[in-house]
A = this chain, B = another copy of it.
Amino acid sequence: MNTLEVIKKRYSYRGSYKSTPVPREDLKKILEAGLAAPSGCNKQTTSLIGLDDPQLVKSVSNIVKKNGFGGDGAPAGICVLTQKIPAWEDNYYYIQDYSAAIENMLLAITALGYASCWIEGQVTCSAETQNEIAKLLNIPADYIVVGFLPVGVPESEGKRPEYKKFEQRAWFNGFGL
């Protein structure tokens, strides 16, 4: 699959995962894709923790799951961390930074034949959730846990949700044209 195909294939998978382990080599490629994302003024505010210890993945998943969906049963996962560092003066782009990093990782995950889901609200909606994950993974206080991506071979074939038509969201040389 080329890049445009991978971009169109990526979707948020909320089904169960096969127990097939994710080789460390693949997990590293996914993390590298995340780190290759751009960041405002190149501040590189995003950091990542790859998880392939089955017990640890399960623990993080269970913490997140308390708020809804936690990528239950995935054999691997990624915790996304950010540092609230200004890019210039009082301008912050850390949300943009980690979002680009997450999208890169979701594409890498898709390209390598795995599935995932961008889980953010169920992490950041609760300071207690963030603190529990931080404690479990020894994350220092100046790093904030903002997301969790389960990673694994999907048990079933999920599908992309309905998207609005192109002409409802994109135009040429002027709004609505």
1/0 per position for A1-39, CB-CB distance to B under 8 A?
111101110111000000000001001110111111110
Report how far A102 CA is from B103 CA in the complex, Å.
Answer: 10
1/0 per position for A127-166, CB-CB distance to B under 8 A?
0000000000111100100000000000000000111101
Residues of A contacting B: mostly: mixed
Report how far A172 CA is from B53 CA in the complex, Å.
Answer: 9
- How many A residues have CB within 8 A of the partner chain? 73
- Judging by beta carbons under 8 Å apart, are B163 and A35 in contact? yes
* Min C-beta distance of A93 to chain B, whole Å: 7
Count this chain's copies in the assembly: 2
- Judging by beta carbons under 8 Å apart, are B120 and A96 in contact? yes
Query: Of all chain B residues, which has the CB nearest A49?
Result: B171
- Judging by beta carbons under 8 Å apart, are B170 and A31 in contact? yes
A to B CB contacts below 8 Å, 8 in the list: A4-B29, A34-B170, A48-B169, A48-B171, A53-B173, A91-B125, A96-B99, A138-B176
A: residues with CB less than 8 A from B are: 1-4, 6-8, 10-12, 24, 27-29, 31-38, 40, 42, 44, 46-53, 56, 81, 87-88, 91, 93, 95-96, 99-100, 102-104, 106-108, 110-111, 118, 120-121, 125, 137-140, 143, 161-164, 166, 169-176
